[in-house]
Amino acid sequence: MQDLFNYPNICDIAFDWNNEKLKNLIQSFIINLNKSKPHALIPACGTGRFSQYFSEFADIQAFDINVNTIEFAKKHRSRSNINYYVDDMKELNYSQRNDFDFVLILNNSIQYLKSRADFKCFLKNIKNKLSKESVIIIEMGLNWNGENLNKPYSWTAKRGNEEVKIDWTALSFNQGKSLEIVKAEYKDIISNEHISFESEIEQTIWNYETFFKDVADSNMKIEKILSFPNFEDVTDSIKNKESGRFIILLKNINQERER
């Protein structure tokens, strides 16, 4: 087994979700902050695609736990107002800022935390780094109960002379954890380079009740929940929704930093 995220170029091609509606939605959240150049923190930033895009509207600090991924972002998605660095979502050791106006967590990255306890640890630490009117924006799945186990989700992505094929299969679901296998195949039709490998990924899965409890236990509140990709406001009906991906806005209950 290999680590998928040790191949940042393959990830960058495979996960190139060019979702203009999502970008525009988040841009509207940034504009509503009413700040000329807000400060943003992007945990689990991956190869830096969203960091680069939102650097047009905010000063960005972006981190990932994977060194290879950060080096790729520095090389290919560098901007004068983006600071890329290696850090862990559970620890948040690097940045000394305590005035971030918004935190942006996309591409289901929150589910790579190993446990709900790690998530609550992240929320506890992030509260000390927020400005008074800040917002946390999370894109994530909710309410998945193990349907479609052992049924691969497959796609092919191309960029120039490069092509990546992905087969992503959920193998098991137990006590809020999923075990998934990713088969990746990369080829360059000019250089004839070919790479294929399998990667094992474990994700933490929330339903609405467990997510709401973890947020409340961390003295945060859910401001709004939007369905993905239609962005329908489902804040009041999420309990009755089937599994899916959602955009969730969190705020500090006290709107003041814990010291």
**How confident is the prediction along the chain (259 residues), in pLDDT tens digits per residue?**
899 999 999 999 999 876 888 899 999 998 888 888 899 999 999 999 999 999 999 999 999 999 999 999 999 999 999 999 999 998 888 878 889 999 999 878 898 888 999 999 999 989 889 988 899 999 999 988 888 899 999 999 999 999 999 999 999 999 889 999 999 999 999 999 999 999 999 999 998 899 999 999 999 999 999 998 899 999 998 877 788 899 999 998 765 444 4
The C-alpha atoms of residue 232 and residue 221 are separated, in whole angstroms, by: 19
Instruction: For the beta carbon of residue 178, count every other beta carbon within 10 angstroms.
Output: 19
Block residue for tokens 């369905």: 227
CATH numbers and ranges of domains, the chain = 4-144+206-252 (3.40.50.150), 153-203 (2.20.25)
pLDDT tens for each residue of 102-112: 999 987 889 88
> Cα-flanking dihedrals φ and ψ of residue 112, to 5°?
-85, -5
The C-alpha atoms of residue 60 and residue 159 are separated, in whole angstroms, by: 26
Alpha-carbon distance values, 137 to 60, 91, 120, 162, 247 (Å): 15, 19, 15, 32, 7
Tell how far CA 83 is from the center of its chain. Answer: 18
pLDDT tens for each residue of 124-160: 989 889 988 899 999 999 988 888 899 999 999 999 9
69-83 CB burial, b ≥16 within 10 A, e <16:
bbebbeeebeeeebb
Collapsing DSSP states into helix, strand and coil, what is residue 116? helix
The residue count of the chain comes to 259
> Cα-flanking dihedrals φ and ψ of residue 55, to 5°?
-65, -15
